[in-house]
């Protein structure tokens, strides 16, 4: 036992206290060990970068060339802008040399220069070579460009609709869980009633009655996806509001608004983030289903659901037009689900201690 005469140097020589770590740091360490979740995050990041790159630096997704309709992957086309060329050749060249050209020397010289990769402007016309990596659709539009734009649209619908569900669900669930009592009972009965409604039919009716607008699609899907979020937030808030640090906040005279936004909501971010990562793929699936029915994203804008619908109509003759969008869509869904499962395990402190 140390006496009052013990030199201070002995206390200084004692072992330093072990530095603690935060919940988020521990979650990151656990997530790094989940190789499937990291694989999903890597694949998702790669797909997003490819889609952004194809959108920024690729061909316009709406650019049509009916002469090059349903071209096979790897086809080369000659594009004229605007399409009023004085030269007598169909404005494309296939790899198997089935393009129709005249024997005029100027046409042959132009053809050779374009296929060599040059861009030539003659008067109001601009001639350039297009390489169609994944072929073209029934209107001669580049499938890779439409796939990149469609991937961004589908992911955008998932993010926007999930944001709508997040705002509604967190607000609704936090109010019900924090105040409790009769208000909580009434609000949860409303949720139970809404759960019994056929929401797919509800979304279809909204699209039919108010038009097939992209913004309405965000709002309609988000308005039916917030129910589970509200229940999750309510249960978390009811558990946290009984803890000692909330009682301490009350004793310090903090108002209810500050307690909710500064003490309760930051402590339920873990389950909310997990639910977000699992909601985005479900929203994307719902958007693809609506687009397959013709009620989702409307032409000329494309989404993965639209591309799958168009590809399914001609899959017997041109199977690649279904295979490519279906493969990208499946990779996105699986990647987001792997990442969501990994985040759920990483943020579950109780499961990590077992």
Alpha-helical segments (H) within 180-268: 181-195, 199-210, 214-224, 226-240, 244-251, 256-258
**131-172 tens-digit pLDDT:** 677 888 888 788 888 999 989 988 888 888 888 888 899 889
97 plus 172 within the same structural domain: no
User: For position 48, what pLDDT does the model report?
Assistant: 92
Does 46 have pLDDT greater than 90? yes
How many distinct structural domains can be found in the chain? Answer: 2
90 plus 172 within the same structural domain: no
Closest CA to 289 of 214, 221, 213: 221
332 plus 206 within the same structural domain: yes
292 plus 173 within the same structural domain: yes
Report the distance separating Cα 82 and Cα 86, nearest Å: 11
Tell me the torsion sign for CA atoms 292, 296, 298, 304: negative
Q: Please check whether residue 152 is in contact with residue 55, taking contact to mean a CB–CB distance below 8 angstroms.
A: yes
**220-275 tens-digit pLDDT:** 777 778 888 899 889 888 888 888 888 888 888 888 888 888 888 878 887 888 88
Count of CB atoms within 10 A of residue 336's CB?
24
Closest CA to 230 of 163, 170, 167: 170
Comparison of pLDDT for 128 and 331, the residue scoring more: 331
State pTM to two decimals: 0.73
User: For position 331, what pLDDT does the model report?
Assistant: 92
User: For position 90, what pLDDT does the model report?
Assistant: 43
Q: Which of 108, 132, 156 is the last residue of a domain?
A: 132
Average pLDDT of the residues in 83-87: 47
User: For position 39, what pLDDT does the model report?
Assistant: 92
């Amino acid at each position: 036992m140390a006496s009052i005469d013990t030199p201070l140097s002995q206390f200084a020589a004692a072992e330093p206290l072990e530095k603690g770590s935060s919940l988020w740091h521990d979650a990151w360490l656990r997530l790094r060990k989940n190789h499937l979740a990291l694989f999903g995050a890597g694949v998702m990041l790669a797909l997003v970068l490819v889609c952004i790159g194809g959108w920024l630096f690729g061909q316009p997704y709406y650019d049509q060339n009916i002469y090059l309709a349903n071209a096979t992957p790897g086809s080369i086309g000659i594009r004229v802008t605007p399409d009023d060329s004085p030269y007598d050749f169909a404005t494309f060249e296939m790899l198997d040399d089935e393009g129709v050209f005249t024997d005029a020397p100027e046409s042959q010289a132009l053809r050779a220069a374009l296929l060599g990769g040059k861009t030539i402007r003659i008067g109001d016309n601009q001639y350039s070579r297009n390489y169609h990596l994944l072929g073209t659709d029934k209107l001669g539009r580049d499938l890779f460009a439409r796939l990149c734009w469609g991937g961004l649209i589908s992911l955008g619908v998932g993010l926007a609709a999930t944001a709508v569900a997040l705002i509604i669900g967190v607000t609704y669930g936090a109010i019900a869980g924090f105040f409790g009592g009769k208000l909580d009972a009434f609000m949860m009965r409303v949720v139970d009633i809404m759960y019994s409604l056929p929401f797919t039919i509800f979304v279809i009716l909204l699209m039919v009655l108010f038009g097939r607008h992209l913004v309405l699609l965000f709002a309609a899907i988000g308005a039916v996806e917030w129910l589970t979020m509200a229940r999750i937030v309510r249960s978390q808030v009811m558990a946290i509001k009984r803890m000692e640090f909330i009682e301490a906040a009350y004793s310090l005279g903090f108002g209810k608004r500050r307690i909710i936004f500064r003490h309760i909501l930051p402590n339920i971010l873990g389950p909310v983030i997990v639910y977000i990562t699992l909601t985005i793929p479900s929203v994307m699936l719902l958007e693809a289903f609506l687009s397959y029915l013709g009620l989702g994203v409307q032409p000329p804008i494309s989404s993965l659901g639209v591309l799958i619908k168009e590809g399914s109509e001609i899959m017997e003759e041109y199977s690649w037009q279904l295979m490519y969008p279906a493969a990208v869509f499946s990779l996105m869904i699986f990647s987001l689900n792997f990442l969501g499962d990994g985040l759920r395990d990483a943020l579950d402190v109780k499961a990590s201690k077992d």
